[in-house]
Amino acid sequence: MDSTVPPEVLREAIVEEVVTFAGGAQRLYSLRERLGLEWPGHLYAEDGMVAYMWECLDTVKTDRDLIGVAQRVVRQVGSQRIEEMLRTYGVRTEFGEFQNLIFAGNGGRDGKPEIALVDATSNRIKITKNRHFWLVYDRPLLSWGLSWQTLLDWWRSEEPGKTDGADDHAVSRMLIERMAESLPTPPPQELFFRAYYKRVLRQHAEVGFEQPALLPEVHLHYDPYTARQHGGKRPLARQRMDFLLLLNDGRRVVIEVDGAQHYSDKVKLKSLEGAVIERSIASPTKYGAMMAADRDLKLDGYELFRVGGKELQSAPQAQALVDGLFNRLLSSPS
């Protein structure tokens, strides 16, 4: 589209996309609330979903507010049609025109995605190999972040055969288990992950699922070459993050769970009796590389929190740490 879409055309598209996505009156009520639309007070969705949505949208008086509603529709519904309309108004996401998150790969060492740049002007990519191992969230990332509810709605569209007829709690359990498949074998990272989503489910009664999604094993950088092809030294030290949250106002929070492998090397030594034993020896080189990567991450606008593996030795210990951390970080109820 070369010219700006008229507001009345954008309104009509919003009504059609929302009603189609909702599929029923009860879900339409919930979606209307998440879109921040006022209830007109004299009409119910059971009287006609299209008429109901037009009445709700009539409470939006300015074009600027209408654009805000359209952005929320893209966030909740994932409408490419409305996204294209928004581009005619010059609307962009917080981090650019097009974004995608590649996370929670469950293919092991052989499952690294192979990526091609299909449009360099808008940073559009395509995964050409091992796509089936990864979750790829490719809806716009707007300034208010990525909530668990938004991720659930996206997952429903990705897996309709698994999620049709299931309520949000059931879909939550499905998606949590799918993401858990990406976690490494040592327990600390999984304990942190499980504790976070136990907290999300516990708080649902108070704040719903409009809580930040905790994404595991997220690709931050991408290097198509192996360490061997680089002569044993990678130019991108940290390609994946343990966990990422996208919060309100464009805040990006990275959480790293550190085991001994982050700052030490395993060395085989001989005991006085001649037996070979393995020990972790502090590595200034590894520690320095980790600190350099941390600095780059912070300078790129990320907030970084490190958690020691020793702090996550049991489920109760992990739950106490996670609750304390996120009560303060998110300023939400305990």
What confidence tier does 213 reach under pLDDT thresholds 50, 70, 90?
Answer: very high
Instruction: Quote the percentage of the chain above a pLDDT of 70.
Output: 82
Highest mean pLDDT among 19-23, 68-72, 127-131, 172-176: 172-176
Q: Compute the distance between CA of residue 319 and CA of residue 327 in angstroms, rounded to an integer.
A: 12
Instruction: Say yes or no to pLDDT of 1 above 70.
Output: no
Count CB neighbours of 23 within 10 A.
11
C-alpha closest to that of 127 among 100, 97, 95, 93: 100
pLDDT (average), residues 141-152: 79
Q: Residues 230-289: pLDDT tens digits?
A: 555 555 455 689 999 998 767 899 999 987 665 656 777 777 777 777 766 767 877 777
Count CB neighbours of 7 within 10 A.
15
Residue 95 confidence (pLDDT): 39
pTM for the full predicted model: 0.67
What kind and span of H or E run contains 102? Answer: strand 101-103
Contacts of 30 (CB under 8 A, 6+ apart): none
Count CB neighbours of 285 within 10 A.
9
In the chain, where are the structural domains located?
Answer: 7-87, 141-330
Helices (H), 114-271: 148-158, 160-163, 168-180, 187-207
Instruction: Say yes or no to pLDDT of 320 above 80.
Output: yes
Q: Measured between alpha carbons, how far is residue 320 from residues 100, 145, 212, 312 in Å?
A: 32, 25, 19, 10
Percentage helix, strand, coil for the chain under 3-state DSSP, each rounded to 5: 45, 20, 35
- Structure tokens given for 184: 């490494």
Q: Compute the distance between CA of residue 309 and CA of residue 314 in angstroms, rounded to an integer.
A: 10
Instruction: Say yes or no to pLDDT of 37 above 60.
Output: yes
Lowest mean pLDDT across 24-33, 121-130, 160-169: 121-130
Q: Residues 125-135: pLDDT tens digits?
A: 778 888 899 99
Instruction: Say yes or no to pLDDT of 326 above 90.
Output: yes
Instruction: Say yes or no to pLDDT of 290 above 80.
Output: no
Residue 334 confidence (pLDDT): 42
Q: Residues 74-103: pLDDT tens digits?
A: 877 888 889 888 877 765 444 344 357 899
- Structure tokens given for 153: 């709605």
